Amino acid sequence: MTRLIVIGDALLDRDLHGRAERLAPDAPVPVVDAIEPSARAGGAALAAMLAARTGVEVTLVTALGRDAAGEELRSLLKGIDVIDLGLHGATPEKIRVLAGGRPVVRLDRGGESRGCGPLPDGALDGADAILVSDYGRGVAAEPTVRAALSGDVPVVWDPHPKGPEPVPGCILVTPNAKEATASAGHSDPEDAARTLVARWRAVAVAVTRGERGALMVSGDGPALAVPVTRVSSGDPCGAGDAFAATAASRIASGALPSEAVREAVEAASAFVAGEAEPASYTGDAVAVAERVRAAGGTVVATGGCFDLLHAGHVRMLEQARALGDCLIVCLNSDASVSRLKGPDRPLVEQDDRAAVLKGLGCVDAVVIFDEDDPREAIKTIKPHVWAKGGDYAVAELPEAQTLAEWGGRAVIVPYVAGRSTTRLITEVLARAR
């Protein structure tokens, strides 16, 4: 299994949710009442949890204080392997008071960090990639940590203005626009990125720009601008961690920095929108289904290989979407397609097939499944309607019995005659002779 090690400062984030309907009588400030508290892992701890949701094995190397906040933070890190270096000081806390979902004030406590203990020998062994999630509290500046980052494992570095500069040779550094321009002394993000690539001796620098996406520079080549395909007005707190965690997870799995940045932009956007698992196809689909059900709508799903997407596919998907309020596609994985279609299929790998499907206006989400049929994926989504393309009788569909467990139903949507992937392959081969 792919292993990612996240190194950095863990924070405890507290939100006090309330309502503000009047001003205080003694000062022109809002009175926030009906407060509901919530706590979550922040900083490098949040990055580690988000990375774990992408399906990689995650180890968090951090420093936790010996106090109540540190114990609470430990309890929030269930399922994450933690190497605690021991924080020399209080656990940092960020406390936001929100009224109607909007921040009114933020209170920080924990003071200035006084560093942490050394990194144990062999702590980074077996990593496919390392993410340094620096929040300026001392973990990234620890000499034993920096010395251990000089090996051959690719390093993604998410910097902080109060932290040290990235170690030389990082495969990707991910400052936001304010950090990049301030550090480089340039007002233009691309100029700043080029300066920082040279200064940090990094393979690539990706400057994150909020709703404008990201701008990546590598060497002397042209900059890569990655736009946001969907703009959300949700809470941006933690979006940078979602970006860095996704980029590092993808690089750990073998992706190029450009590929990782593209997926990271989408993940950060999904995080701001409030989706529970921004880098997971399954999590995205479940979130879509839950929102539609909660609003009283009809969830529609369909399935298939969708290798070499053609007009017949598109027409079937459009007809399926018209049956309800969202359409989720259950997509056969590469291994599943090979078992069904033969060892020379698919022609297009699963992530590319999923990306093309998600680019269609009629498709709201995609689930990739490894089994020979989509019944387990259907159980995860629990659609009201399962739309099957082709010439079948509903009674012949193995999915029908599964749908009946929660009152769902199957319908048949006709294909467009004469359109098929096999026909396209045959035509291409005939013309190549």
Q: How far is CA 300 from CA 277, 281, 288, 317, 404, in A?
A: 21, 16, 11, 10, 14
Buried b (16+ CB within 10 A) or exposed e, 338-361: eeebeeebbebebbebbebbbebe
Largest interatomic CA distance in the chain: 87
Cβ atoms of residues 381 and 328 within 8 Å: yes
Cβ atoms of residues 311 and 421 within 8 Å: no
Catalytic (active-site) positions = 241
Alpha-carbon distance of 356 to 397, in angstroms, equals: 26
CB contact set of 31 (below 8 Å; sequence gap of 6+): 20, 21, 22, 23, 24
Nearest partner of 87 among 105, 101, 69, 103, judged by Cα: 69
Nearest-10 crossing angle of helices 44-52, 239-252: 50
Cβ atoms of residues 304 and 413 within 8 Å: no
Q: CB 427: neighbour CB atoms within 10 A? A: 10
Q: How many residues does the chain have?
A: 433
